[in-house]
Structure formats: C-alpha cells, structure tokens
Structure 1
Amino acid sequence: MKITNIRSYIVDNGTKKHWVFVRLETDAGIVGWGESYSQSDREDAIISHLAQFARYMIGRDPFQIKYTTTMLRDDYVHRRGSMEFYSALSGLEIALWDIVGQACGQPVHNLLGGRYRDKIRVYANGWAYNAKTPVDIAKAAEAVVSRGFTALKFDPFPLPVRTYVDKDIERHAVSMVSAVRDAVGDEVEVLVECSRRFSPTIASRFAKAIAQLRPYWIEEPVPAFDLDGLREVRQVSDAPIVSGETLYTKDEFRSLFASRGVDIINPDISVCGGLLELKEIAATAESHLVGVSPHNYNSTTVSLAATMQASASMPNFLLTEYFLSFDKVGSDICDEPLVPVNGHIELTDRPGIGIALREDELRKRAASGTPFRTLRTVSAEA
C-alpha cells in the first residue's frame, strides 16, 4: 500500500479559530484523517508545509510512521521546527495511524498496547467567554454541569494578557473562581487556566489566594520555558501545576520533567508531534510520576478521536479537553460524533482513530480567510 495524495481543508467553525484537517489517500482505497493545531493567521503556513510534505509522501508506505516523522524533522527542517511545522507534522502523523489501524482492522489503541480504560473522561472548556462578572460565570458553570460534565476549565483573568496585573484584577480573578466553586459544589472539579501570562511572584500569590477553593489544578501560571518559575509556583501551591501545551516532541519535555516543576503535563496531539509522540511523552511522564491531561484546543472530531486512542493506553492519563463552543459544528462534519455522557466518552472498537469526516460538510464550511484579530497598539496600559 502506498500514499497517493494529500489534501488539506481549512474549516470555518464560526469562532475566532479555524480548523485544519489532513486527508491522506492510498492506492488501496483507504483514507486517513488527521488534524493540525491552528491559530488565527497561521492556517496558510500550516497547509503550505502539508503541500510540501506531498513531495516526500507520495509513494511512501503509510506503515513507516516513525521513519517518516523522523525524516521530516531531520531532513525537511533540519531539526529547526516551528509551530506551523509541528502542527502540519502532527496532522500528517495522525492520518498515517488512521490508515494503519484501518488496514489492520484494529482501533489504534490496540496497536499501542491495548486499552487501559473503556471510556475517556473529558472536561468542558469554551463555555465562559462571555462571562464578565461572578454572577455571569456562576450561571454559565451551572449550565455546563447540567449537561453532565464533572470537570470544567476557565481563565478567570480578563484580556489583555499582561505579565504584571494590579491587585484589583487579582481580586476579581479570585472572585470568579469562588463563584464557580459555589455554583458547582464540591463534587465538580474546577480547573483554573492562567495562559502562561504571569511572573512567578504574581502566580504564586494567586495560587495561595485560591487554595481554599480547592482547584483541581492551576494551568500554565508562567511560560513553560521558565522552569525555575514553575518550580517556585509549585512549591507554594496546594493545587497541582500543569504545563506543556506549547512544547513540541519529547525532546522539549525532557527539561520540564527534570525540573520537577509540574505535577501534570498537557501536550496537544495536534502540535506535539502526533499520536505516537504523545504516547511516548506520556510514557516518560509515567517514569517521573507525572500525570497526563492532553490539551485539545482543536475540533471535537479528529484531534479528540486521536487523543482518545492514545489516552486509552496510558496508565497515567487523567482527563482531556472538550470545547463546548466547537461541538455543534463538530457533530455536523463527523460521521459518528463523539458525545460526552456524564463527563465521559465511550471508546470505540472501530478501526483506525474511530471516526471519519464528511467532505461535503467540510466544503460547505471552507474558510474564505483567516479570522480577523486586532493586534494591540501602544497605549497607557501597554
């Protein structure tokens, strides 16, 4: 069996972020689907890489997954990868696994050592964008819990992102977390996002301020490359510290594990290097007694399905991300939508990653341009 064609789709899902899908075709008639992580204004760069990959992939055996990804890292970018490259590579790699699973008549998790669990726990995100006050966010959190989710994540800090914020903003963030905890009760997990924005001092102060609210974790209080800063925050935080969504491949996680600065990592399957790379990162985390909660700021289709396949075989898996703001369009474009029930999604035995996309729906939603994003200008608040 040989690869015969690569196609890319940029899909408008009605939000500020488009989706990028990869479709691999073979001479055996098997089609594999992958998904690349994307950001506004970056989609064209990602699909440019995918177009260049075709020169290397046409005629290649899809079973040569490890060789293919290593070759592209070593020979195509000479080990100088960018977000756009690793996003494209990850989408390609997922599609290769989808083909291999279908060719073998097996779900991918069976090719990775078998399932460790029958269903995958998910947490809700993408539900708090319009909540500006504690009253607003409490109502939004109640609505999420009414849908059966047992864990939910949000960023309590307003935009714009700043490394240093004043005390009023810190107090507001604490009040937002407090409102969510009061609204959902003690049995629902509250995951607090910080989006890599703070200095260690402010992050540490915030961690101590919300300790009595029992957050399930504090995510990315400082940038992932600030290993000393992460360790400082972890030393004063009662809640576990999470980081890793901006890192590529297991090479970049090596220093994070050595620093002892995190309790949980959150690599993203569609940018960290793909399905097998996520599995290998998780195996290294296991040896460091670190939990894994894969990031998934992608669609609720291909990336989520691939994440579920990898997560099923991880002893140290905790839960993964499900974006409520994406699920309507995700269901429209997917042949078998992944639907959470009581905060979990059942694992399928369908060969490959377990789903396929509807090309007619992808074409209907083809993006005509990247979502407009206003860049900040110089001001008194800059």
Structure 2
Amino acid sequence: MKITKVECLTVHPGWRKNLIFVRIETDAGIVGWGEAYSQYDRDRAIAAQVEEMGRYVVGRDPFEIRHILQVAFDDYAQRRASLEFHCAASGIEQALWDIVGKATDQPVYNLIGGKVRDRIRVYANGWSYKMRDADDYARAAEKVVESGFTALKLDPLPRPWRTYIPKQHIRQAVKTVRTIRDAVGPEVDILLDIHRRLAPMHAIDLANALAEFEPYWFEEPCQSENINALADVRAASPIPTVTGEALYGRAGFRPVLRERAVDIINPDVANCGGILELMYIAAAAEAEMIACSPHNYNSTTLALSATVHASAAMPNFIITEYFIPFEEFGQKICRNPLKPVDGYILLPEGPGLGIEVNEEVVRSMPGKPFPKRELPLPENEGPRAALPTKAF
C-alpha cells in the first residue's frame, strides 16, 4: 500500500479560529484523517507546511510512520523545527495512524500498547470566552456543571497579557474564582490557565491568593522556555503547576522533565508531533512521576479522538480538554462525534481513529481570514508594573 495524495483542508467551525484537517489517500482506497493545531493569524503558514511536507509523503508506505516523521525532521526540515513544522507533522502523523488502524481493522489504541482505561475524563473549556464580570463567570460555570462536566478551565486574569501586572489584576482573579467556587460547590474541579504571561513574583502571589479555592492546577504561569522561572513557581506554589502546550517534540520537554519544573505536562497531539510522539513524551514524564494531561484546543472530532486514543494507553494520564464551542461543528461534520457523558468520553471502538468524517460537509465550510485585531500601541500601555504582595 502506498500514499497517493496528501491534502490540507482549512475549515471554519463558526467560532474563533480556523481548523486544519489533513486527508491522506492510498492506492488501496483507504483514506486517513488527521488534524493539525492552528492559531489565528498563523493558520495559513501551518497549512502551507502541511502542503509542502505532504509532497514528500506521497509514494511512501503509510505503515512506516516513524521513518516518515524522521525524514520530515532530518531531511525535509533539516533539523530546523518550528510551531508550523510540528503542527503539520502532527496532522499527517494522525492521518497515517488512521490509515494503519483501518487497514488492520483495529482502533489506534490497540496498536500503541492497548488500553489501560475504558473512559477518558475531560474538562470543559471555551465556556467563558470574553467574559469579564465575576457573576457572568459563575452563571456560565453553573450551566457547564449542569450539562454533566465535573471539571472546567478558565483564565481568571483580565487582559492585556503582560509579564508585570498591578495588584488589581490579582484581586480581580481572586474575586472571579471565589464566585465560581461558590456557584459550583466544592466537588467540581476548577483548572486555572495563566497562558504563560506572568513573572514568577506575580505567579507565586496569584497561586497563594487562589489556593483557598482548591484549584485542580495552575497552568503555564510563566513562559515555558524559562525552566528556572517555572521551577521557582512550582517550588513556591501550593497548587500543582502545568506546562507543555507550547513545547514541541521530546526535545522540547526534556529540560522541563530533567529539572522537574512542573507537576503535570500538557502536550498537544496536534502540535507535539502526533500520537506516537505524545506517547514518548508521556512515557518520559512517567519515569519522573509527572502526570500527563493532553492539551486539546482543537476540534471535538479528529484531534480529540487522537488524544483519546493516546490517553487510553497512557498510564500517567489524568484528564484532557474538551472545547464546548466546537461541539456543534463536530456534530455537523462527523457522523459519530465523541460526546462526554458525566465528564467522561468512552473509547471509540471503530478502526483507526474511529471517527467517520462527512467529507462533503467539511468541504462546504472553508476557512476564513481572521479579522485584524486591535493590538496595543505604546500610548495604550500605561503603568502596569507592580510589586508583589501577599495581602489579599
């Protein structure tokens, strides 16, 4: 069996960013699907990488996944990786596993070691988009819990994203989380995402100020490349710390794991290198007694399914991400979308990724240019730096 075509389909799900799907044909009539991570204003560059890399995949045996990815890095990219490269490689790799699973009539998790669990816990995200008022967060959180989720994630800090912030930003975050905790009760897990924005002094202050609400985790308090900053926060934070969505491949995670700079990693199957690479990263973390919680700011179809298959075979898995605003799109383009029930997704049993894509519907929803954002000018900045304080 040989690969005859690699196609990139950029689609718009009706909310925020475009999604990037990868479709691979074979001379045996088997078609595989995958999904590359996308980011607003950069999705065209990622799609271009899928198309360029795909030219070198045509003519190869889809079973030779490891060699295809090695050639992509060593020879195609000449060992100069990037976000765009890793996203493209991830989408292609998922589609190859989909083909292999269909060819062998096996779900992917059976081909990567077999399942260690029958269901995958998920947390809700996307439910608080553009909210500012604490009461709005609380009412929305109540609806999320009423729909069956037992865990939800949010970024409690006001914008803009800056390294040094005033005390008022921390106070507002405390008010927001307190209001949510009061609304959902003590048993629902609240996950906090800081989006790599803070200096350690502010991150530590924020973690201490929020600890009384017993958050499940404190995600990406600092830039993920600054291992020392992450380690400083982990050492002082009463909340478990997380990083990984902006790290790519085993090499990107090596410094974090060696220094035990966090308690949990969250690599994304659509940008870390794919299913097998995610398994390698998780295994390395397992040896350091670090948990793995795959990131999934992707659709609720292909990338979610790839995540579920990897998580099923991952001993140190704890929870993964489900973006509620992409759910309607997933139901349109997928005949059997993965749907959480009481906060868990049951493992798909079909071959490959177990997802039946309606290609006609996918092609009817082409990507759209992302609207130009109003980014700050110097006069918009103002005095934002503040000294750390523990008085909240």
Report the TM-score when normalising by structure 2.
0.96
Question: Which residue in 1 is equivalent to 2:328?
Answer: 328
Greater Cα shift, 282-291 or 122-131: 122-131
Count of aligned residue pairs for this structure pair: 382
Question: Which residue in 2 is equivalent to 1:57?
Answer: 57
User: Matched residue of 1:39: which SS?
Assistant: coil
C-alpha distance in 1 between matches for 2:14 and 2:101: 32
Question: Which residue in 2 is equivalent to 1:353?
Answer: 353
C-alpha distance in 1 between matches for 2:330 and 2:372: 22
Q: CA deviation at 1:28?
A: 0.5
C-alpha distance in 2 between matches for 1:370 and 1:82: 21
C-alpha distance in 2 between matches for 1:354 and 1:373: 37
8 Å CA contact 2:158–2:172 kept in 1: the answer is no
C-alpha distance in 1 between matches for 2:17 and 2:376: 18
> Which string of whole-angstrom CA distances, capped at 9 and with x for unpartnered residues, describes residues 79-110 of structure 1?
11111111011000000000001111100000
Question: Which residue in 1 is equivalent to 2:205?
Answer: 205
C-alpha distance in 2 between matches for 1:259 and 1:373: 38
Q: CA deviation at 1:326?
A: 0.9
Amino acid of the residue matched to residue 353 of structure 2? I
Q: CA deviation at 1:55?
A: 2.4
Query: Does the C-alpha gap of structure 1 residues 6 and 201 become closer, same or farther in structure 2, counting only changes over 3 Å?
Result: same
The answer to whether the aligner puts 1:191 opposite 2:191 as a matched pair is yes
> Which string of whole-angstrom CA distances, capped at 9 and with x for unpartnered residues, describes residues 294-324 of structure 1?
0000111100000000000011000100001
Q: CA deviation at 1:380?
A: 4.1
Question: Which residue in 2 is equivalent to 1:38?
Answer: 38
1:367-382 alignment runs, 5 A limit:
367-381=367-381
Unaligned runs of 5+ in 2: 383-392
User: Matched residue of 1:183: which SS?
Assistant: helix
> Which string of whole-angstrom CA distances, capped at 9 and with x for unpartnered residues, describes residues 259-305 of structure 1?
11100000000000000000110000100000000000011110000
Amino acid of the residue matched to residue 233 of structure 1? V
User: Matched residue of 2:242: which SS?
Assistant: strand
Amino acid of the residue matched to residue 302 of structure 2? V
Question: Which residue in 1 is equivalent to 2:21?
Answer: 21
1:1-382 alignment runs, 5 A limit:
1-381=1-381
8 Å CA contact 2:19–2:367 kept in 1: the answer is no
8 Å CA contact 2:6–2:55 kept in 1: the answer is no
Greater Cα shift, 36-45 or 299-308: 36-45
User: Matched residue of 1:6: which SS?
Assistant: strand
Amino acid of the residue matched to residue 305 of structure 2? A
C-alpha distance in 2 between matches for 1:293 and 1:199: 24
Question: Which residue in 1 is equivalent to 2:390?
Answer: none
User: Matched residue of 1:143: which SS?
Assistant: helix
8 Å CA contact 1:332–1:361 kept in 2: the answer is yes
Greater Cα shift, 224-233 or 140-149: 224-233
Report the TM-score when normalising by structure 1.
0.98
Unaligned runs of 5+ in 1: none
C-alpha distance in 2 between matches for 1:370 and 1:29: 35
Amino acid of the residue matched to residue 127 of structure 1? W
Q: CA deviation at 1:129?
A: 1.3
The percent identity for this pair of structures is 51
> Which string of whole-angstrom CA distances, capped at 9 and with x for unpartnered residues, describes residues 331-364 of structure 1?
1111211111000011022110110321111122
User: Matched residue of 1:345: which SS?
Assistant: strand
User: Matched residue of 1:98: which SS?
Assistant: helix
C-alpha distance in 1 between matches for 2:155 and 2:265: 18
